[in-house]
Structure 1
Amino acid sequence: MSATELADGYLRFFVLPLWIAAGFVDWLCHRRSQIASTSGVRESLLHVAQLVEVGIPLLVALLFEIDLTVLALMAAGFVLHEFTALADVRFAVSRRDVSPFEQHVHSFLEMMPLVALSLIAWIVLPARLRDGVHAADFALRWRPTEPLYIVVLLAAVLVFAVIPYAEECVRGWRYARRHVASR
């Protein structure tokens, strides 16, 4: 088994499941801290933004051959995610208790995109840069990916990330609507 195959397996079967699990645990922390009545829908929308900022580059990396375009997209997504995460924490701590456990979960959520990006770059960049950036082909090309893996991964993301964070937004909107109506 090559280093590339080992890294691919590590990312697919360890990093991504751990990342999804950490996101779900973070949602449980938000629910426990009654986010709807504290920092509300604004913080929930920051969570959705972070999901999109790392989700799109991740999906592109899974479906297309990794080249400089995909690496640049992943790097941009990581940087955006970090700025949004900083804004999220700054906003949240002024309105609700962010427990040490939740802060620890955030550490995982902040590092997983960097782990994925750095491992992929470590494998891909030397070969891509050997010929020089000027010779690089920036066209996106589909890569053979096991459809079952993609379906299972997307189902896990739907069940453990999209639905919970959508529910968090709905809870926040409902609370805000009731709170405004009761004034």
Structure 2
Amino acid sequence: MDTSLLLISALLYFFLPLWGIAGFVDWCCHRATKIEHTSGIKETLMHSVMGIQMGLPIVLCLVFDVNALILLICTITWVLHEIVAHMDVRYASPIREISIWEMHAHTYLGSLPLYMLTSIILINWDHFLKLITLDFAGEITFKLLDSPYGTASYLPAYLTFMAIVCIFPYMEENIRCLYVYFKGRKN
């Protein structure tokens, strides 16, 4: 089997689901420490920003042919995600307990995007070379994939999985934090 196909399979069926599971574990830790009464709305909004920062390049890579533009977006969002992750922990650690489980979840949430980005770069090495040499001819486009990765049902199944383990839980966290924030402002 081609190494690129092995890397794509690892991304689809191991790294992407594991990233979602790590996000769910992180959410469980936030819930256990009652984030809405400790670090509150500021921290939960950082979590939402980080989810969007990683969700955008994941969806782009699953829907479009990867080229220099997609690699540039992936790299920029990864760097921004790391900055916000640092700000998040720096803000939260003096305010609330960060358990060993949450630290482990953060390890996965921080390292998996780098592993995924590295794999995507390796799979698309020719486009990466065009990016770093600024050879953008034909590289700054959004071209839909001719055939989806995995199976035709992979993308809807993955998005459903992520909605269940990450999007809905973090929306619930945002609502909890907003409720406590606005309740406190009334008093």
TM range (shorter): over 0.9
Counting only pairs closer than 5 Å after superposition, residues 87-98 of structure 1 correspond to structure 2 as 87-98=87-98
Q: What letter matches 1:154 in structure 2?
A: L
Question: Given the two structures, how large is their TM-score scaled by the length of structure 1?
Answer: 0.93
Partner of 2:163: 158
Residue aligned with 1:147, SS: coil
- Alignment-derived partner of residue 100 in structure 1: 100
Amino acid paired to 2:138: D
Instruction: Determine helix, strand or coil for the equivalent of 1:98.
Output: coil
Q: 1:84 to 1:135 in 2, by over 3 A?
A: closer
Structure 2 unaligned regions, length at least 5: none
Structure 1 gap ranges (5+):
none
How far apart are residue 123 of structure 1 and its match? 2.3
After TM superposition, the structure 1 = structure 2 runs for residues 66-145 of structure 1, keeping only pairs within 5 Å, are 66-126=66-126, 129=129, 133-134=134-135, 136-138=137-139, 139-143=141-145, 144-145=147-148
The one-letter code of the counterpart of 1:150 is L
Q: 1:73 to 1:135 in 2, by over 3 A?
A: closer
Q: Is the 8 A contact 2:68 2:136 kept in 1?
A: no
Tell me the amino acid that sits aligned with residue 156 of structure 1.
F
The verdict on how the C-alpha distance between 1:98 and 1:128 changes in structure 2, with shifts beyond 3 A counting, is: closer
The structure carrying a bigger helix percent of its residues is 1
Paired letter, 2:70: V
1:68–1:136 Cα contact (<8 Å) kept:
no
| 1:25-67 deviation per Cα after TM superposition (whole angstroms, max 9, x unaligned) | 0000000011000001110000000000010011001111111
**Which residue identity lines up with residue 171 of structure 1 in the other structure?**
R
Name the counterpart of 1:148. 153
The CA RMSD measured in Å over matched residues stands at 1.6
* Structure 1 position 4, deviation (Å): 1.1
The TM-score with structure 2 as length reference comes to 0.91
Alignment partner, residue 175 of structure 1 = 180
Kindly provide the amino acid, as one letter, of the partner of residue 142 in structure 1.
Answer: L
2:23 aligned with 1:23: yes
C-alpha displacement at 1:141, in angstroms?
1.1
Amino acid at match of 1:129: L
Structure 2 CA distance, aligned partners of 1:9 and 1:125? 17
* Structure-2 change in CA distance of 1:128 and 1:118 (3 Å): closer
